[in-house]
Amino acid sequence: MSLWNDFSKGFWNDIPPFRLVLGLCPTLAVTTEAVGGLAMGLATTFVLTCSNTLISSLRKIIPRKVRLASYIVVIASFVVVVELLMQAYFYRLFLFLGIFINLIVVNCIILGRAEAFASKRPILNSMADGLGIGLGFTISLTVLGTIREILGAGTLSLGFAKISVFGPDFIPFSFMVRPPGAFVCLGLLLGLMNIISRGRI
Amino acid sequence: MERRRALRDIIKMIVVLTVISMVMGTTLSIVESVTREPIAYSRLKFVKGPAVLDVLDNCENDPIKDYQKDVVVEEKPGLKATKSIFPAKKNGQAFAIAFEVTGHGYRGDIGIMVGIDLKTGLLTGMRVITHSETPGLGARAVQPEFYNQFNGLGIQEADLTSKGGKIDAISGATITSTGVVDAIKEALDLFARNKESIMSAVGAG
């Protein structure tokens, strides 16, 4: 498995939450706004890359019996780092994401990659894996967030601006910004991905 | 042999976990101390910021960045307290300040941001920040029709019309109106009594 392969698989073959069906909870919760999805994706990417890198560099030292405890200490610490950085420099996003920043700790993607990949592979590969899967996750969340926000609220948040896409007379399809709408949207996107990868309907 | 290996395993587990925890803990303290100030600034800016900027028109600085924390003032004769003062500056000179006072409303405390001109001692404006008043009645204290009445007034005029002042109370919300007015008068009084220490705290003395 080449380094490039380890990085690029996160963008299609192993993309969460579609192919790597993990991390659904934050996916559905924060994608009510496009910028929320983007922020959550980037925060998760930071934690995933850092934890993969550190765990991979310690993989020969951590005894098997305490590996989960060690991984959790590492992951939780990086999550708090992200939370502090967001509070300091991106306060509005921090308020929007709220408790879901802390819940990155239990995002199965991170512990899953630590156990399945970082604990067995070299540092550079683990870093690439974390970065690729994290960025793929970010793209998924941003696309999902964009669709849900445009259809469900008629706006598009870009962080520094919120533009009204359809004008003031648009009656939003508010089903989209609620949890059932999130599931439906997720399912439709997954179906679309399947059509594309199989090349036929 | 078996027991010695088991003991060695336990020691290794303890050592590894301890070292990892120590390293991560140190990293966290470093990040926390670096971000402590930006976080305090962001919090202030988002919670109190809009009200501060509203009551301090025409300022050229960032009143929140320049704020003076814990300025010692005499709240009532003989009663010392600390207040955070937000200065408005033009050409590097402070011309107005803002600080928060608490009024007693119908359903609880009312947080009010008061702006006062340093030269004249008159109000530059006021905004109600936090309250639990009745919607449609006392809660209308947050509307421009009510708060704009206070612009430019001094301690004599910032009273209800029923008491000889210029403020029309909110109809049906006398207690709220009185609470707000009393708090603002206290603010003006506090400023007058502590003018020197406040002005020196913001570098205008």
pLDDT in tens, A103-157: 999 999 999 999 999 999 999 999 999 999 999 999 999 999 999 999 988 888 8
A17: cis peptide before it, omega within 30°? Answer: yes
Nearest CA in chain A to B41: A88
For residues B89 and B83, give the distance between their C-alpha atoms in angstroms, rounded to a whole number: 19
Give how far Cα A182 sits from Cα of A28, A43, A87, A107, A142, Å: 6, 21, 27, 18, 13
Q: Report the relative pairing of strands A162-164 and B68-76 from DSSP bridges.
A: unpaired
Express each pLDDT in B95-128 by its tens digit.
899 999 999 988 889 999 999 998 888 999 999 9
* pLDDT given for residue B46 in this prediction: 85
Write the CB contacts of B104 (distance below 8 Å, at least 6 apart in sequence): B110, B179, B182, B183
Query: Cβ(A158)–Cβ(A36) under 8 Å?
Result: no
Which chain B residue has the Cα nearest residue A86?
Answer: B39
Q: Are residues A93 and A56 in the same domain?
A: yes
Where does residue A104 rank: exposed (0-12), middle (13-18), buried (19+ CB within 10 A)?
A: buried
Q: What percent of chain A has pLDDT over 70?
A: 99
| A-chain residues near B35 (CB < 8 A) | 84-85, 87-88
Residues 6+ apart with CB under 8 A from B171: none
Residue A103 and residue A49 share a domain: yes
Domain count, chain A: 2
What residues of A are in contact with residue B42 (Cβ under 8 Å)? 87-89, 91
Across the interface, of B21, B38, B46, the residue whose CB is closest to A73 is B21
**ipTM greater than 0.90, yes or no?**
no
Please check the confidence at residue A160 and state whether its pLDDT lies above 80: no
Q: For chain A, list residues whose CB is within 8 angstroms of any CB belonging to chain B.
A: 58, 61-63, 65-66, 69-70, 73-74, 77, 80-81, 84-85, 87-89, 91-92, 95
Model confidence pLDDT, tens digit, residues B9-34: 999 999 999 999 999 999 999 999 99
* Residue among A69, A84, A92 whose CB faces B17 most closely: A69
- Least Cα separation, residue A102 to chain B (angstroms): 15
Please give, rounded to a whole number of angstroms, the shortest distance from the CA of B32 to a CA of chain A.
Answer: 7
Residue A192 and residue A129 in one domain = no
Task: Count the neighbouring beta carbons within 10 Å of the beta carbon of residue B112.
Answer: 27
Domain boundary (A106, A138, A170) is at: A138
Distance from CA of B35 to the nearest CA of A (A): 6
Pair (A134, A150) in one structural domain: no
With an 8 Å Cβ cutoff, is B12 touching chain A?
yes
Nearest Cα residue in chain A from B29: A81
Instruction: Calculate how close chain A gets to B115, using CA atoms only, in Å.
Output: 26
State whether A130 and A156 are in the same domain. Answer: no
For B108, B113, B183, B185, the CA distances from B160, given in Å and listed in that order, are: 20, 19, 12, 11
Query: What is the H or E stretch that residue B114 is in?
Result: strand B109-117
Q: What is the pLDDT of residue A201?
A: 53
A113 shares a domain with A171: no
Q: How far apart are CA B110 and CA B183, in angstroms?
A: 9
Is B32 within 8 Å of chain A by CB? yes
Please tell me which of the candidates B24, B38, B46 has its beta carbon nearest to residue A88. Answer: B38
User: Does residue A6 carry a pLDDT above 60?
Assistant: yes
Residues A128, A181: one domain?
no
Given 3-state DSSP classes, what are the helix, strand and coil percentages for chain B, each rounded to the nearest 5? 45, 25, 30
Looking at A112, A138, A164, the residue that finishes a domain is: A138
**What pLDDT, on the 0 to 100 scale, is given for residue A140?**
94
Q: Is A196 exposed, middle or buried (0-12, 13-18, 19+ CB in 10 A)?
A: exposed
> Reduced to 3 states, what is the DSSP secondary structure of residue A118?
helix
- Segment A70-79 shows an average pLDDT of 96
Identify the three-state secondary structure at position B202.
coil
Which residues from chain A sit within 8 angstroms of residue B39, using beta carbons?
Answer: 84, 87-88
More confident residue, B70 or A19: A19
B42 in A contact zone (CB under 8 Å): yes
Query: What six digits make up the tokens of A95?
Result: 């308020």
Distance, in Å, from the CA atom of A165 to the CA atom of A158, rounded to the nearest integer, reads 12
Same domain, A125 and A159: no
The C-alpha of A85 sits at a distance from chain B's nearest C-alpha, in angstroms, of 7
Residues A126 and A165 in one domain: no
Q: Are the beta carbons of A87 and B39 separated by less than 8 Å? A: yes
Q: In Å, how far is A58's CA from the nearest CA of chain B? A: 9
Same structural domain for residues A39 and A73? yes
Give the domain extent around A180.
Answer: 146-201
Whether the Cβ atoms of residue A67 and residue A182 lie closer than 8 Å to each other = no
Q: Do B39 and A84 touch (CB under 8 A)?
A: yes
The pLDDT of residue A38 is: 93
Is B47 within 8 Å of chain A by CB?
A: no
Residues A109 and A167 in one domain: no
* Domain end among A138, A168, A190: A138
Q: Indicate whether A171 and A121 sit together in one domain.
A: no
Which residues of chain B have a CB within 8 Å of the CB of A51? none
- How far apart (Å, rounded) are the C-alpha atoms in residues B125 and B149? 9
